[in-house]
Structure 1
Amino acid sequence: MTKSALLVMDVQQNIVGRVPDPDYVPRVARAVAAARRAGVPVMYVVVGFRAGHPEANPANKTFGALPPGAFTPDDEGAAVHPGVAPEKDEVVVVKKRVSAFAGSDLELLLRSGGIGHLVLAGIATSGVVLSTVRQAADLDFGLTVLSDGCADADPENHRLLTEKIFPRQAEVTTIDDWAASLA
């Protein structure tokens, strides 16, 4: 059986504030708790930059326009949301672009840990989740997307991705159904 890991992606304080669903963080917390109970490693992926954003090219529409100080070590809003905070032994991967793999050592950590299957949750469905699904599939990882563990500012984008696009490369399920499969 292939070893799995739960990736909690971009569930950072500044980003969670953009999710209108007040039940989002508690749902993701249920996934985290289920993974921990089942011995499935939980890994966190966050976007982060050095002070002054030297990694953010001004031509990049997403990251080139960040306000000074955003997502730097001094930005308290860049921390993982306390509702799903990592435990001291859980890995936090810092990425520099949209995909969880871009500008990070995620693939190295996964391969070193013998992990071949990723369970994805994160904000936004049309951002980090989409980019990570595509890249992880190209890297031959097995994939599960927790549809209600993902959130997007555009509900139609979320629906289209979880119902039409992701099933081509991943199993798509809910947090409760995935947690039940671990028992």
Structure 2
Amino acid sequence: MTASMKRALIVIDVQNEYVTGHLRIEYPAVELSLSHIGQAMDAARAAGIPIVVVQNSAPSGSPIFAHGSEGWALHPVVAGRPADHYVEKTLPSAFAGTDLESWLREQGIDTLTVVGYMTHNCVDSTVKQALHAGFAVEVLDDATGSVPYSNRAGLVSAEMIHRTFMVVLQSRFANVMETATWLAALAGQPLPERESIYASNQHALQMRARMA
């Protein structure tokens, strides 16, 4: 990692709702992503990288994330580790209606490493708003996760949702990598590069041509 980068680790909505509640993460397996989230938090603390914990809240009586409920509570993987800043939100993006951006500016942060849940909702929304606000963004793809959906538009598995969003984020919005790669970068190894929309499309066309 370059000396000019000043990072913060953004830990989004690692709450019981996603582990033992009504929205259990299915892909990657929640036990795996929780382990990687803990590893990232420990490494960030050791490296002096500020940690921001984000918690989603819904009104009392809501079927999920009702404020004060067991599902709303932070999972022990996060609750049992120290953080430098806490953000409570009611919308998908951790920036929406919170003090997150102002706090990051005060700390001189220019790069965000994002972990947590869910890949396609709060992680995606936070990443895109961060990019639009001028931050560089990294996403640890095995420290996030998705659930399956079925609605009027169709049926999609958790794996398909997660993989699709990771490919899209890597094409423009974030530098997507595994937790092990990020940990190695903290130890001095080079980071992989974020790709581009054009390059991602060209790679897909080339792969399709080879398979024809």
TM-score normalised by structure 1 residue count = 0.84
**Shift in Å, 1:35:** 0.8
Task: Give the residue type in structure 2 aligned to 1:71.
Answer: A
| Pick aligned residue for 1:47 from 34, 42, 56 | 56
**Shift in Å, 1:109:** 1.0
Task: Give the residue type in structure 1 aligned to 2:57.
Answer: G
Q: Does 1:177 align with 2:181?
A: yes
Q: Does 1:143 align with 2:137?
A: yes
| Pick aligned residue for 1:9 from 4, 9, 12 | 12
* Rg larger in structure: 2
Q: 2:17–2:65: 8 Å Cα contact kept in structure 1?
A: no
Q: Does 1:29 align with 2:38?
A: yes
Match of 1:91 in 2: 85
Gaps (5+ residues) in structure 2?
A: 148-157, 188-212
Match of 1:57 in 2: none
Q: SS state of the match for residue 134, structure 2?
A: coil
CA pair 177-70 structure 1, distance change in 2 beyond 3 A: closer
Q: Could you tell me how far apart the structure 1 residues matched to 2:13 and 2:146 are?
A: 12
| Pick aligned residue for 2:125 from 123, 131, 147 | 131
What's the CA shift string for 1:116-145, capped at 9, x where partnerless?
110001111100111011111100001001
**Shift in Å, 1:87:** 4.0
For structure 1, which segment, 14-23 or 81-90, has the greater mean C-alpha deviation from structure 2 after superposition? 81-90
Q: Could you tell me how far apart the structure 2 residues matched to 1:133 and 1:89 are?
A: 20
Q: 2:52–2:83: 8 Å Cα contact kept in structure 1?
A: no
Q: Could you tell me how far apart the structure 1 residues matched to 2:83 and 2:129 are?
A: 26
TM-score normalised by structure 2 residue count = 0.73
Q: Paired residues, what number?
A: 168
**Shift in Å, 1:50:** 5.6
Bigger relative contact order (CA 8 A; separation at least 6): 1
Q: Percent identity, aligned pairs only?
A: 37
Two-structure CA RMSD over aligned residues (Å): 1.8
Q: Could you tell me how far apart the structure 2 residues matched to 1:110 and 1:121 are?
A: 17
